[in-house]
Amino acid sequence: MGAQDLLYIPVSAIREQLSFVTTDPLPWKEFALAASWTVNCFELYLLQRQYKYYSKTQPPEALKAYVSQEKFEKSQVYGKDKAKFSFFKTIYSQIWDSIFLYQGGFALCWKWSGHILASLGYGPDYQILQSIVFSMVFALVSSLSGLPLSIYSTFVLEERHGFNKTTPGLFVADMFKGWALGFALGAPFLWAFLKIFTWAGEHFVPWLIGFILGFQILMVFLYPLVIQPLFNKLTPLPAGELRERIEALATHLKFPLKHLYEIDGSKRSSHSNAYFFGLPWSKHIVVYDTLIKNAKVDGVEAVLAHELGHWFYYHPTKLMLISQLHILGVISCFPAFLHSTPLLLSFDFPASIAVHPPVIIAFMLYQTVLTPVDTFVSAAMHAVSRRFEYEADRFACELHTKHGVPGSEGMGKRLGEALISIMVDNLATLWTDPWFSAWHHTHPTLTERLKALEKYEKDVKLVSAKKEL
């Protein structure tokens, strides 16, 4: 028995347990509608909880010394406006999605894709080609449905509060670039994705997982070389104190820094950030021009010390491994849905198509049914992400005592001051409902991080005192 057969044993067992999916005429569409309404009603409830905090008239006690009353009031108004928009967006999107499902939107998109192919002289035998056209039609419908929300968010909400730098021309250019990029990457990806089913047959699971992982690694190569330059200009960070300190920090920690860039984030927004990406042996650090403009050199260095903490503790790798486990679970259960005629009939596909379900249709309907599961997985991933943020903050605080980085004393205090500066400049919400934060946020709140940083700094001082003794 080969390795492929061994891998197929658990998949076969899962398929047998879910055999009812292929035979029983269950109300899948009604389940998907009920699940999505339940999730969105819960999110509206969380928004309502958060909205109450925008009535606060004073900043949190821990921030009073750092945040002026004027800035706090502006952040409250901005937060309230964003919450109102989120209320409308959630309801609008839910109604749109419900109409799409109720009216057999997937079946209509498949029908339209067939008509498009027929007009080009291709028949139903070209299923992979029709699947690619179907995906394009579906993506276009989804994009156009969300276009009014995107326009309002950019040119009304963000503009009103002084963050928008995007011109109408740039907005349209970005939209068309996004569509072109989606086709350029999506079409070959989908072709290979569907070919695996034809080539591997019932043993597609390990091959499909390997393909998805390979594509993710390929994107790590393509992103800095092809994708990022289409939307933003990356220029080498100019020589000076900031560059020298970042390079010295990277060298001391043996961070494989290949390029250090400044990105023109101000081209679209006044919000600021910094991040790194790349392969294990070749990393790139990107600093937003808005961060360089609004923060001191000490602050930018502290933010990057935090980012290097993510690298030091292998956080991106760990998140990818968790993601692969999730993908493994999703793909392992899919064989039970792959040949489910009742699934397609429930979503209004004609019997002539449902009796031999196209792979792309079965997979998209399967994902629709999985919406509640994915929602909870996302919330769990947010909890993991918040834990990693605390670890990266601690790493920055311990640069001097544990890693012997020269000039890194008091890094926790510098990081805290930089976070306050960034959050205040971005008019970030300073009062947050704990339920809302737990469900939505990948980062701890500012007050939570400052409290943790204070504790880490005390721990560092204790360690230093013990060493002196």
Residue type, 302: A
Instruction: Please state the φ and ψ torsions of residue 433, each to the nearest 5 degrees.
Output: -70, 135
**Among 393, 398, 417, 433, the one annotated catalytic:** 393
**202 among known catalytic residues:** no
**Among 262, 307, 417, 425, the one annotated catalytic:** 307
- Look at residues 322, 459, 316 and name the one whose alpha carbon lies nearest to residue 378: 322
- Look at residues 110, 104, 116 and name the one whose alpha carbon lies nearest to residue 138: 110
Gap between the Cα atoms of 28 and 372, Å rounded: 13
**393 among known catalytic residues:** yes
Gap between the Cα atoms of 44 and 120, Å rounded: 45
DSSP-based three-state secondary structure for 19: coil
Residues 6+ apart with CB under 8 A from 102: 29, 33
Q: Which residue has the tokens 């002084």?
A: 162
Opening angle at CA 169, ends 165 and 173, nearest 5: 105
Rounded-to-10 torsion of CA 124, 126, 129, 135: 30
Q: Which residues pair with 262 in a beta bridge?
A: 235, 287
Q: Using H for helix, E for strand and C for coil, what is the string for 198-246?
A: HHHHHHHHHHHHHHHHHHHHHHHHHHHHHHHHHHCCEEECCCCHHHHHH
Helical (H) or strand (E) element with 140: helix 127-152
Q: Which residue has the tokens 């309907």?
A: 365
**Count of H helices and E strands in the chain?**
23, 4
Which residues are annotated as catalytic? 307, 393
